Amino acid sequence: MNPLAALYGAAVRARNELYDHRALVLAHLQGPVVSIGNLTVGGSGKTPFLILLGELLKERGIFFDVLSRGYRRITKGVAPVDPLGSPREYGDEPLLIARKLGVPVIVGEDRHAAGQLSEERFGPLLHLLDDGFQHRRLARDFDIVLLTSSDARDSLLPIGRMREPLSSLRRADAVVLTNDMPGDGLRLGSQQVWRVTRGVVAPQTKEPCLAFCGIARPQNFIAQLQAAGVMLTGTRSFRDHHRYSAEDVRQLLRLRQQRGAAEFVTTEKDAVNLAGHLEALQPVHVVPVRMRLHNAPAVLEFILATVRERKRRPA
């Protein structure tokens, strides 16, 4: 193992052992907490899965909120997300979640403080903890971890993208495998293993398109568009969570002309980060991610039953 990755891994193990042995105190909320996380830096489908789980909860009439760090926002402290606000204020993914689900989304570096603010306003509702697997300070009643095929081959930071080794999956209550992830060879304990099928809702166009995005794994988005039969004459990728400028728009327009494309195609997250620049790129297709959870009713019932049982136990 690379010395830097080994040093990082030792630090991760030491921190986890402090929590495992209760040397570090957990902060608790009144309402149950369901965490959705992963092992890597971005790109596992956490946000689409959280939105999917939120839609299932709404179908059951269960009121909930979302607690998120608000990655790359310029503001500090705890704040409820205004769906009409900007990614600079709240972060792109919390803003997308608020717009898609229409439920309270609270951002804050301290997720416990974010949950307390929500409970002051709405009572002890169910909390969905966004990207929460490594945020161990906040106690949770159910831990969900998404796993992709590339995770099994990746390395720890700073060499690779892994924030924790695969052995950390033992903390999870459920592991969600994406459609490209074989279950063979995984050493899991008593965790639930669920599967999701992930794709895109392809635009209904026969025109040549230029695809662009600023996400963690742009190659997946491009491959999904091609698999759906979208005619791509060019692509352009930006860093994850990229906030678009007027110069970016001018470059995209020049590239579209150079590649002979008639239309743009991009992701919902990029549409959030484009903000007022989106209109200048018309015609542009904003493509949603489509995620389907296999046996969803049984999965949701298992989560709810588990958190009900755990909330009855003394902390």
Return the percentage of the chain with pLDDT > 70, whole number.
96
Query: Does residue 184 have a pLDDT over 60?
Result: no
Query: Does residue 182 have a pLDDT over 80?
Result: no
pLDDT tens digits, residue range 8-48?
999 999 999 999 998 998 999 999 999 999 999 877 899 99
Angle (CA) 14-72-134 rounded to 5° is 25
* Banded model confidence at residue 290, pLDDT cuts 50, 70, 90: confident
- What's phi and psi for 36, nearest 5 deg? -120, 120
pTM of the model: 0.94
Query: Does residue 205 have a pLDDT over 90?
Result: yes
Distance CA 181, CA 296 (A): 18
Signed CA dihedral, 305, 25, 35, 153: sign only: negative
**Bridge partners (DSSP) listed for residue 146:** 38, 176
- What's phi and psi for 82, nearest 5 deg? -90, 115
Domains, in order of start, for the chain:
3-198+292-312 (3.40.50.300), 202-287 (3.40.50)
Average pLDDT, the chain: 93
The two three-digit tokens of residue 255, written as one number: 């590239």
